[in-house]
Amino acid sequence: MREGAQAVAKLVITLAVMVFFLFPVYWLVTTAFKPGSDWFRWPPMIIPQALTLDNFTGGGSGIYGGGGGTTAIENIVPYLRNSVVVALGTALISTFVAALAGYAISRFKIGGMPFVSWIISVRMLPPIAAALPLYVTFRLLHLLDTWWALILVHLTFTTPFAVWVLISFFNEIPRELDEAAFVDGATPFATFWRVVLPLSAPGLAAMMTLSFVQSWGEFLLALILTSTARAQTLPIYLGRYITGFRVAWGPLAAAGLVTMLPVVVFSLLMQRYLLRGLTFGAVKG
Amino acid sequence: MILPLVALLVGLSAYPFVYMLYMSAHTYNLAQWTPPRYVGTANFVQMARDSTMRASLVFTGLMAGIALPVELLLGLGLALLLRGVVGERVWRSLLLLPMMIPAVVAGIAWKMLYNFEFGPVNYALSKFGLERISWLGDFTAARIGLIIIDIWQWTPFVFLVLYAGLQNVPRDLVESATVDGAGGWAVTRFIELPFLAPLIWVVLIVRLIDILKLFDIVYMTTFGGPGSATHPLSFYIYKVGVSFGWDVGYGSALSMLLLAVITLLTNVLIRILHIDRLLELERA
Amino acid sequence: MGPTKRRWLTVVTGLVALLLAAPLRPAWTQAPVTLNVWASPDNADALADIGQRFTQANPTIKITVTPISWEVLYPRMLADIASRTGAFDVATWDVMTAGAMAPGFVDLAKFREDNPRLVDPAYDLKDFHPTIWHIGGVWAGKNIGIPFYNNTMLFYYRKDHFANPTLQAKFKTQYGRDLKPPTTWQETVDVAKFFTKKFNPDSPTDYGIALMFPRTHTLFYMYVLFFAPYRRSQDGLKKFGPVDLDYGDYFTAKKEPAFATPEGVKAVEDMKALLPYSPDPLGADYGETLESFARGTVAMVPQWTGVWAAFREAAALKPIEQKVGVALMPGGHSVSGIWGLGINVASKHKPEAFRFLQFATNKANDKAKFIKFGVAPARMSTLKDPEARRLDPRVPVLEATYPTQGYRPRIPQEPKLEDITVGVLSEMLGGKRPITVAELAKLADEWAKLLK
């Protein structure tokens, strides 16, 4: 009896907490499907009455009252492509580089704590401080407004964290396994590739997911280093909806939904690994 | 095997760092169309008298002092609460949403929620007979408003890590404690919490660094206002260094300050918390 | 393969290659060129539309328009012109960034002289109002652009409420004068109070006036609306001298700050007096004030020209001819927000860019972009055009506004002046700082440091 009451109480609290965490998401999603007259109302339209796809198609009268050509959602495609390439590229490269380094640090203690501290300190460098020097450098290398510019700078803040987590992860893998491989004549790299990597898959997947999420949402550097549909990512694309004389809330929400959907789907798919991978290997039985 | 990492980090962070160090001793402003001019410590002297910068430090301190502890407690509470609740897996997945949503998109959502005349937040208040609140235009409310957004977005991260940690608490430890007559709370207090402690510290450091770099949400909602009430240091650096004409010299000096604060805080934390032991880089 | 065969093969291959490279075109025409145009979002659709028509007439020149939000456009362009990257060929620049942008833009007067062949004889430079031409096109004697979007602020009010006999009678008994669009900010206070439900339960609207005094650059030009009436009054002109078109209304003719004076204080007090009758003035920006008026919850709003398109669509404001009136700004002085269109000095396609620029700002397109997209006209011929006047009640008001409107500084330090000023004004309006000459003098000191 008491346990039943407890379970109900727990569920009630959970639901209340969920309202706080989910309502903003709900509001964004529903606004994306509301016609212009319902974006703002008093009382607010909690449950949408009429649903429309106009915010996605740029249909109806458009944002500027004159058939909003430059802001129709069909234009989102190149930006979506850029975001996918940049975030995937960052996630893959960052995980690979971090795994190599993490393994070396974990097994051979290369550099020790000072080196690890230095890696972490890189993550602390405020991206704003790096913006102009990077702009100048990338101009010399002809990398401005390219995917590589973004992948490279995103790597600097995703990789250090991944190294940190993966060190603990590799620490957990019994040394006997690599030693056995060594005895069989494998090189350190082969041992890493064939023995250690498969065993640390959850950690790698978790780091890939987090790197993906971070790169996907990065705003400041993408703003400065890219300028056209060739390389601009979705968060930058969203900015164009906030115009001088009108905030187009519906299309903005629609574009926001398109922006968040891939990353949400990706991370929900990876959730299992996130749960296992994010314990940093710090908790041991 | 560490070569790719070293190359990457040196190439992309060492150079900006040196550039920043160099520029912090110069006057250099793209809008003025003059080459950098050496000014010694003038930028740092100016900083000492800069009231906007002081306001930035206050607000950044407020975020770290209020939002961060709330996130830790709430995240821990949620991790404990969600275990065994009906629909655990569904809630767990849904709870991840806020942290996965790009900050720019989250800012848009909250701007709509906080709308003074038509926003659902003020509507909810009116249901309790309360006056509308200017969430983005009142000096106190705007600060609270931003703290709420940060809590909303990052509590799920704390939750996720601690929840995952709880899954790893060895069953036999819990069972033997229960056999010895320990109640639910005692198990949490004396077995699970100590077990989670290292994770809590790691999360604390990661979140602290990110709070010190807070930018996107402010950019999308209050733009630092009213006055300088919600002006985090990173946002101020953005305005000085980029938005208002690339004042690279003073922006670099401000960045040096931010970097110093972050480095100091995290190194203290790393020392206190013995991260080196956690990473097994030195013997405990 | 014999030598003859090989020769034949070479000839055929060469011919095919030639045909592929220049299908049915004489060899001397240029290869296809793509012009990158950066535009503020307000202008993007109009420029894209003009670009399409330009490409129809000039198939070898393609136009790609990228809208970039205001906040970002300025630093992005500055970084690009300072490093001579040439990421854009043509761009719209905001009036107050003229000084900072000038070194990065082509001097069009010189370009016209050097390339007389490219100049359109029907272009008519005299069709621009001289002041507008200067503000939106000239910096330090250099013609850095053509006025494209002649944006200014207008005062929109609810025509239907102002014409309501019951409300008119009540207003008359209460204030002893007629209910009509206010002509001074002091009058506006009464009218705004009258239309605020908290103070007048009969008011059809919740609030009197929607104001935007947020922490963004908005507050900087909103202050000009309140300060210009003092700055440009008889006494003001005597005290401060005529307005310098580079330094704007914030300065005296001697290029010193003019606001750290009793007049400057009065302007802030006029702003503060309106706060109780406005929904969320310190938290609202364009989007929010526009929404308030479009939903019918306020009776008046000072806003830019472009909002008309949004009002026209708003259900609460239909039919717009009966519900929305357009008036001169109370106090008699608006503030300009002109956008010029110019060519990047680092552009590799200057002749093509010049031809596009000329096309985009010619008489026909000035009118077309106004009628189709509501982009405020830069040419007098559009203001005089009977069709434009018939279609849009804003035209006569625009005509009266342009010669009297106030200006922000256009000097390179403007963005910085703007930021520190907005911080101080915001604190004054929020009650965190006294509204006194002494406090404004502190701000003026900060200005002096930046201007050194």
Please check the confidence at residue A5 and state whether its pLDDT lies above 60: yes
Cβ of residue A114 closer than 8 Å to a chain C Cβ: no
Rounded to 5°, angle at Cα C380 from C377 and C383: 60
CA distance B239 to A220: 12
Q: Cβ-count burial of B195 within 10 angstroms (0-12 exposed, 13-18 middle, 19+ buried)? A: buried
Closest by Cα among B186, B191, B197 to B162 = B197
Residue C330, both tokens: 């109370």
What is the per-residue DSSP string for C365-383? Answer: HHHHHHHHH-PPP-BHHHH
Task: Count other Cβ atoms within 10 Å, centred on residue A54.
Answer: 19
Instruction: Give every CB contact of residue B197 below 8 A, 6+ residues apart in sequence.
Output: none
Chain A hits for C44, Cβ within 8 Å:
70-71, 240
What is the per-residue DSSP string for A83-99? Answer: HHHHHHHHHHHHHHHHH
Q: What is the pLDDT of residues B30-47, one digit of tens each?
A: 888 888 999 989 999 999
Q: What is the pLDDT of residue B9?
A: 82
Amino acid identity, residue A29? V
Predicted TM-score (pTM) of the model is 0.90
- The number of residues in chain B equals 284
Q: Are C416 and B243 in contact (CB under 8 A)?
A: no
Q: Are A24 and B98 in contact (CB under 8 A)?
A: yes
Q: What is the pLDDT of residue A177?
A: 80
Cβ of residue A249 closer than 8 Å to a chain C Cβ: yes
Residue B128, both tokens: 């309790």
Q: What is the pLDDT of residues A227-262, one digit of tens each?
A: 888 899 988 888 766 654 556 788 888 888 888 888
What does DSSP say about strands C142-143 and C138-139: parallel, antiparallel, or unpaired? antiparallel
Q: What is the pLDDT of residues B50-69, one digit of tens each?
A: 888 999 999 999 999 999 99
CB contact under 8 A, C286 and A244: yes
CB burial of C7-16 (b: ≥16 within 10 Å; e: otherwise) equals: eeeeeeeeee
For range A117-144, the mean pLDDT: 80
What is the per-residue DSSP string for A190-246? Answer: HHIIIIIHHHTHHHHHHHHHHHHHHHHH--HHHHHH--STTT--HHHHHHTTB-SS-
CA distance C406 to C232: 9
Name the closest residue on chain C to residue B218, using Cα atoms: C215
How big is the A-C interface in CB pairs under 8 Å?
117
Q: What is the pLDDT of residues A17-61, one digit of tens each?
A: 999 999 999 999 999 998 878 888 888 988 888 888 888 876 544
CA distance B252 to B237: 8
CB contact under 8 A, C295 and B118: yes
Q: What is the pLDDT of residue A280?
A: 54
Placement of tokens 């007389």 in the chain: C116
Amino acid identity, residue C425? L
Amino acid identity, residue A212? F
Strands of chain B (E only): list them. 26-27, 37-38
Please check the confidence at residue B144 and state whether its pLDDT lies above 80: yes
What is the per-residue DSSP string for C42-107? Answer: HHHHHHHHHHHHHHHH-TTEEEEEEE--HHHHHHHHHHHHHHT----SEEEEEGGGHHHHGGGB--
Name the residue among C82, C292, C427 with its Cβ closest to that of B30.
C82
Chain C hits for B53, Cβ within 8 Å:
none
Closest by Cα among C306, C333, C308, C296 to C158 = C296
How big is the A-B interface in CB pairs under 8 Å?
284
Per the model's pLDDT, the better-predicted residue between A2 and B203 turns out to be B203
Chain C hits for B226, Cβ within 8 Å:
214-215, 282-283, 426-427, 429-430
CA distance C47 to C27: 31
Most trustworthy range by pLDDT among B5-14, B259-268, C321-330: C321-330
CB contact under 8 A, A245 and C45: no
Closest by Cα among B223, B252, B274 to B29 = B252
CB contact under 8 A, A160 and B4: no
CB contact under 8 A, A229 and C66: yes
CA distance A114 to A112: 6
Amino acid identity, residue C315? A
Mutation target to probe the A interface, by most A beta carbons within 10 A, among C69, C73, C94, C95 is C69
CA distance C68 to A227: 9
CB contact under 8 A, A216 and B278: no
Residue C355, both tokens: 């031809």
B30: which DSSP letter? G
Closest by Cα among C48, C85, C93 to C66 = C48
CB contact under 8 A, B226 and C82: no
- The separation between the first and the last C-alpha atoms of chain A, rounded to the nearest angstrom, is 34
Q: What is the pLDDT of residues A79-100, one digit of tens each?
A: 999 999 999 999 999 999 999 9
CB contact under 8 A, A224 and C304: no
Placement of tokens 């404001």 in the chain: C317
pLDDT bucket at B254, cuts 50 / 70 / 90: very high
Chain A hits for C79, Cβ within 8 Å:
132, 135, 224
Indicate the SS3 state at residue C164: coil
Q: Residue A126 — φ and ψ, nearest 5°?
A: -65, 130
Amino acid identity, residue C307? V
CA distance B103 to B90: 23
Rounded to 5°, angle at Cα A257 from A251 and A261: 155
Rounded to 5°, angle at Cα B176 from B174 and B180: 115
Amino acid identity, residue C183? T
Chain C hits for A141, Cβ within 8 Å:
none
Chain A hits for B119, Cβ within 8 Å:
44
Residues facing residue C343 across a β-bridge:
C90
Question: Å from A79 to nearest chain C CA?
Answer: 12
Chain B hits for A285, Cβ within 8 Å:
168, 170
Residue A146, both tokens: 């390219």
Cβ of residue B167 closer than 8 Å to a chain A Cβ: yes
Cβ of residue A50 closer than 8 Å to a chain C Cβ: no
What does DSSP say about strands C207-209 and C324-327: parallel, antiparallel, or unpaired? unpaired
CA distance B33 to B91: 55
CB contact under 8 A, B117 and A285: no
Cβ of residue A66 closer than 8 Å to a chain C Cβ: yes
Name the residue among C100, C280, C429 with its Cβ closest to that of B245.
C100
Cβ of residue B117 closer than 8 Å to a chain C Cβ: yes
Q: Are B234 and B209 in contact (CB under 8 A)?
A: no
Name the residue among C44, C70, C85 with its Cβ closest to that of A144.
C85
pLDDT lower than 50: segments of chain C:
1, 18-28
Q: What is the pLDDT of residues A164-213, one digit of tens each?
A: 888 878 887 888 887 888 788 888 788 888 888 888 888 898 889 889 98
Q: What is the pLDDT of residue B17?
A: 87
Question: Å from B15 to nearest chain A CA?
Answer: 8
Q: What is the pLDDT of residues B152-201, one digit of tens each?
A: 999 999 998 899 888 878 778 788 888 887 777 888 888 888 888 878 88
Residue A197, both tokens: 């990597």
Task: Count other Cβ atoms within 10 Å, centred on residue C19.
Answer: 10
Question: Å from A208 to nearest chain B CA?
Answer: 13
Q: Cβ-count burial of B18 within 10 angstroms (0-12 exposed, 13-18 middle, 19+ buried)? A: exposed
CA dist list (Å): C313 to A84, A278, C126, C376, C396: 36, 50, 36, 18, 22
Mean pLDDT of chain B: 87
Chain B hits for C291, Cβ within 8 Å:
115, 117-118
CA distance B111 to B105: 10
- The number of residues in chain A equals 285
Cβ of residue B239 closer than 8 Å to a chain C Cβ: yes
CA distance C422 to C216: 7
Which C residues, 280 through 339, put their C-beta within 8 Å of a C-beta on chain B?
280-284, 288, 291-292, 295, 297
Q: Are C334 and C225 in contact (CB under 8 A)?
A: yes
CB contact under 8 A, A66 and C45: yes
What is the per-residue DSSP string for B180-231? Answer: TT--HHHHIIIIIHHHHHHHHHHHHHHHHHHHHT--HHHHHTTTT-STTTT-
Q: Are C343 and C108 in contact (CB under 8 A)?
A: yes
Q: What is the pLDDT of residues B210-248, one digit of tens each?
A: 888 888 889 888 999 899 999 999 899 988 888 888 888
Name the residue among B12, B156, B263 with its Cβ closest to that of A153.
B12
Q: What is the pLDDT of residue B183?
A: 73
CA dist list (Å): A198 to A205, A266, C351: 11, 21, 60
Q: How far is CA A81 from the centre of its chain?
A: 15
Mutation target to probe the A interface, by most A beta carbons within 10 A, among C216, C313, C324, C338 is C313
Cβ of residue B121 closer than 8 Å to a chain C Cβ: no
In which region does residue C374 sit, left (phi positive, over 0), alpha (psi from -120 to 50) or beta (all else)? Answer: left
Q: What is the pLDDT of residue B181?
A: 76
CA distance B110 to B146: 9
Mutation target to probe the B interface, by most B beta carbons within 10 A, among C213, C282, C408, C410 is C282
Q: Residue C67 — φ and ψ, nearest 5°?
A: -75, 135
Closest by Cα among B262, B202, B280 to B60 = B262
Closest by Cα among C205, C191, C301, C206 to B132 = C206
Q: What is the pLDDT of residues C140-183, one digit of tens each?
A: 999 999 999 999 999 999 999 999 999 999 999 999 999 999 99
Whether a cis peptide bond, with omega within 30° of 0, leads into C281 is no
What share of residues in chain C are helix, strand, coil (percent, to 5)? Answer: 55, 15, 35
Name the closest residue on chain C to residue A138, using Cα atoms: C85
CB contact under 8 A, C78 and B246: yes
Q: Are A236 and A79 in contact (CB under 8 A)?
A: yes
Residues facing residue C62 across a β-bridge:
C34
